[in-house]
Every structure is written in structure tokens, then in C-alpha cells.
């Protein structure tokens, strides 16, 4: 089950469970759409995997399976991705 992390690892922007601005990789690293697109070029800086929009958990299921409250933040933020 997805942990639905509460923030962007780059800029620490809040990403509540109902946010349509949350992007994740297969390891659930979480980023806002601004950082994912402008800084990271759609690739996770941790694993190199594709960043896709995080699915929304229905409100009724959030009561039974709440989102994570553990904030993950990259020290110094994320460096812009270098062109290959």
C-alpha cells in the first residue's frame, strides 16, 4: 500500500493525500509537479525511475489507511537534472 508521503523531497512543499500535484517513482519517492518537471525532468533523482502522478486514495479509505506523516527531505534540495 502506498504511504502517501506528506511533502516534496526537493522543496518540502506540502503534498496532502488528495493532492493532484504529487509525483512518485516505483520506490514512492515523492515530489511536487513543479520540481518533478522543472528540476528533475520527470526522473527520480534517487533511483532514476520515471515519476508519475500519485493516485488518490478515496476519503473513506484514508480513515482506515491514513497517509504517512513522516517527512522526507533531501539535504540541500534537488539539483537540476543534467542533459545527457
CATH of domain 1-67: 3.30.40
pLDDT, tens digit, for every residue of 31-77? 999 999 999 999 999 999 999 999 999 999 999 999 999 999 998 88
Per-residue model confidence (pLDDT) at position 84: 56
- 82 pLDDT more than 80: no
Element (H, E) at 59: helix 59-64
Domain residue ranges in the chain = 1-67
**What φ, ψ does residue 34 adopt, rounded to 5°?**
-60, -50
Model confidence, pTM: 0.90
In this prediction, residue 49 carries a pLDDT of 96
* CB proximity list for 6: less than 8 A, separation 6 or greater: 14, 15, 16, 67, 68, 69, 70, 71
User: In this model, does residue 78 exceed pLDDT 90?
Assistant: no
Amino acid at each position: 500500500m502506498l504511504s502517501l508521503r506528506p511533502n516534496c523531497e526537493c522543496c518540502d512543499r506540502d503534498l496532502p493525500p488528495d493532492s493532484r500535484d504529487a509525483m512518485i517513482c516505483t520506490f514512492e519517492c515523492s515530489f511536487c509537479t513543479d520540481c518533478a518537471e522543472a528540476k528533475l525532468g520527470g526522473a527520480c533523482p534517487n533511483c532514476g525511475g520515471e515519476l508519475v502522478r500519485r493516485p488518490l486514495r478515496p476519503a473513506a479509505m484514508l480513515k482506515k489507511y491514513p497517509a504517512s506523516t513522516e517527512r522526507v527531505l533531501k539535504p540541500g534540495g534537488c539539483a537540476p537534472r543534467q542533459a545527457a
